[in-house]
Structure 1
Amino acid sequence: MIDNLFTMFPGQGSQRAGMAGHLLREHPRTAGRVLARAEEATGLPLTALCSTAPEEELAPTEIAQPAIVATSLAVLEVLRDQAGFVPAVVAGHSLGEYPALVAAGVLEAEAALRLVRRRGELMAGVSRQVGGAMTAVLGLAAARIEEICADCAPLGVVEIANYNEPGQTVISGQRPAVEEVARRALAAGAERAVALKVSAPFHCSLMRAIEDEFAAELEHVSFSAPRLPVISSVTGTLVRDGGHARDLLRRQLAGPVRWADVLGAAAAHAVDGCLEVGPGRVLSGFANRTGVHSVVRSTHDARRISALLRELGQQPAPGAAA
């Protein structure tokens, strides 16, 4: 039985067709309620988008962001409803910081969804104006990639967007500069450079164009003090209070995601393991490769959720209403 978990919420890129379909089949009352509330908050048909829509309908930033957050919140509510689950420590990878703050009592779910909806719209606007690209570089130290980015600055904006783990760094910016950094990184010994299927250059200075407008949105929302520890992906350190949380959400638009620091900070807490709540298994993979925790779980599909509920000690009997 496990119950003292560092709980991680995924970011954009984790979306997939049918990502909440199993939740609606296995836990229709709980997941259906969360998705219905998410639809009301965002004005989007999220139940259909998260269960039956094809991949291409989920791809736009302004759709992917609320869909991922809604699915993550539905999984969290299933764990709460079926197992009384309470995370020990939470963090979210960029976008995932919103459901993490909901889990910690800093934001109301509907407020988080409205903010994410607007965040996605503003980011999509940047993409339409400046284009851009993101590429994951594997097998080269982040410090060396920083040097290459500086050398390529005359070609355009190119910066590190994600410090995901020692072996994976993501660069973001204007396409010619991003492509040249990727080429030079491979020449410098990187194992691979993988162009990401994203519609905007996230987490670089190109996003500063929307900081003020999004900051105004944040000011209209109430932020409470965290009821449990929240590790910020902007700083890799704990969120102090509600005001600090609000400021970090503004800063994360153009600042890099320091996920390697988040995992290091989580290791300092006395937890039984790591749990990824939401679609995908990217964060579980990062956690596994750090080797800090022997227990790493995800909620990627019905089988994994069922197994997790059994481990949490409160799995309902087969056929029980959910």
Structure 2
Amino acid sequence: MVFPGMGPTGFADIERFATEVPLAWRLFAEADEALGYPVLDRFRRADGDYSEYAQVAFLVTCLALAEWAEHEALPARPGLCTGPSFGGKVAAAYVGSLGFADAVWMTARLARCVADYFSREHRSLVTHSFVRVDPGVAEEMLGELTARGRVADVACRVDRDFFMVTLSADDLPGLEKGIRAAGGLSLYTMRPPMHSPSFARLRERAEKEVLDELEFAEPRLPVISDHDGSLLTTGEQVRNLLLDGFVQRMHWPGTVEALHARGVRTVCVAGPDALFGRVPATTRHFKVVPVGPKRPLLAAAARDAEPRSSRVGESSAERGSAAG
């Protein structure tokens, strides 16, 4: 089971799933209770792609889709789990290291902590993504910046030639020029930035203000680290994975290699995703089962369109499963 990193997610991307699929209703109602406010209503009115409410809604949507997939789309329950970047929060809940309410609370509190931190610290830093640049060339470009004492940290390695780099906005025009000269393509720039050794104080704040309030249980199935591909089997390891995400890069090709080495040949990507289930690093190694917010709606529509006679032979258990 793979939970994707969070990209720009608007309310319209999940509205129908969250309001028309019973499983999603239930989880959003539980999230409302955990936080004391209506998540979807606040998400609808929020500004920005990564608001507290967007992050909670993304978490809940991913978990609801994973549960739906286990009943409707997968031949067996997954034996391993991973979650690049933001997906690590979802993975912690899916494997039971955190209960659902605690995972929702943690996500909201971390979002507030990060927003407050970057309103005061590292205000010039951004994270820029680009593709089609040879790794050696990318290393040279970043090396030129670090040689001048500038921040230029690989935040995410998504594929062989797909990078996200944390650097000063002042240095971004020069980097973009180098990307174009190398035949590459700049994609987007994120604020606030992420995944850099420069954010050690943010890691400390997140631990003290948020994660110290939680207890992490032993996961019911192993988690593959998106930092170094290691196998995580204790609650403490899952906790450290979330904290280390502030200061360590996400390395998706290494995560893929670790999954493949452990015999994984099929991955279910549960959540709104336009990246991790589609990049060659994933598709070259696995059969990908994408389960996004539209899939349960399409499945329900297909069932409703079936002639009644074709459903006569369904058992009550099958009908109950389909309704879930």
TM-score bracket, normalised by the shorter chain, equals 0.7 to 0.9
Residue 202 of structure 1: aligned partner? 194
Q: 1:260 aligns with which of 222, 234, 253?
A: 253
How many residues were matched structurally?
306
CA–CA distance in 2 between the matches of 1:275 and 1:133?
31
Q: 1:102 aligns with which of 90, 93, 98?
A: 93
Q: 1:135 aligns with which of 128, 137, 156?
A: 128
CA–CA distance in 1 between the matches of 2:144 and 2:82?
33
CA–CA distance in 1 between the matches of 2:79 and 2:235?
19
Residue 308 of structure 2: aligned partner? none
Contact preservation (8 Å) 1:15, 1:280: no
Contact preservation (8 Å) 2:8, 2:50: no
Q: Per the alignment, do residues 179 and 42 of structure 1 end up closer, same or farther by CA in structure 2, a change over 3 Å counting?
A: farther
Question: What percentage of aligned pairs have identical amino acids?
Answer: 22
CA–CA distance in 2 between the matches of 1:101 and 1:74?
14
Residue 69 of structure 2: aligned partner? 79
Deviation for aligned residue 1:34: 0.5
CA–CA distance in 2 between the matches of 1:72 and 1:280?
10
Residue 182 of structure 1: aligned partner? 176
Q: Per the alignment, do residues 304 and 144 of structure 1 end up closer, same or farther by CA in structure 2, a change over 3 Å counting?
A: farther
Contact preservation (8 Å) 1:26, 1:302: no
Larger Rg computed on CA atoms: 2
CA–CA distance in 2 between the matches of 1:289 and 1:76?
18
**Aligned partner letter, 2:90:** P
CA–CA distance in 2 between the matches of 1:87 and 1:17?
29
Deviation for aligned residue 1:41: 2.4
**Please, what TM-score do these two structures have when normalized by structure 2?**
0.83
CA–CA distance in 2 between the matches of 1:195 and 1:24?
27
Q: Per the alignment, do residues 93 and 43 of structure 1 end up closer, same or farther by CA in structure 2, a change over 3 Å counting?
A: farther
Residue 292 of structure 2: aligned partner? 300
**Please, what TM-score do these two structures have when normalized by structure 1?**
0.83
CA–CA distance in 1 between the matches of 2:321 and 2:96?
32
**Aligned partner letter, 2:137:** R
163-172 vs 99-108, which deviates more?
A: 99-108
Q: Secondary structure of the equivalent of 1:94?
A: coil
Kindly provide the CA deviation profile for residues 87-116 of structure 1, in whole angstroms up to 9, marking residues without a partner as x.
221111111011112221222121122111
Deviation for aligned residue 1:163: 0.7
Q: Per the alignment, do residues 142 and 241 of structure 1 end up closer, same or farther by CA in structure 2, a change over 3 Å counting?
A: farther
2:26 pairs with 1:22: no
Q: 1:170 aligns with which of 164, 171, 181?
A: 164
CA–CA distance in 1 between the matches of 2:91 and 2:85?
10
Residue 52 of structure 2: aligned partner? 62
Deviation for aligned residue 1:49: 5.0
CA–CA distance in 1 between the matches of 2:299 and 2:193?
37
CA–CA distance in 2 between the matches of 1:22 and 1:287?
30
Contact preservation (8 Å) 1:164, 1:258: yes
Deviation for aligned residue 1:128: 2.2
Residue 3 of structure 1: aligned partner? none
Q: Per the alignment, do residues 195 and 47 of structure 1 end up closer, same or farther by CA in structure 2, a change over 3 Å counting?
A: closer
Q: Secondary structure of the equivalent of 2:273?
A: coil
Tell me how large the CA RMSD over aligned residues is. Answer: 3.0
Contact preservation (8 Å) 1:89, 1:230: yes
Structure 2 gap segments, 5+ residues each: 303-314
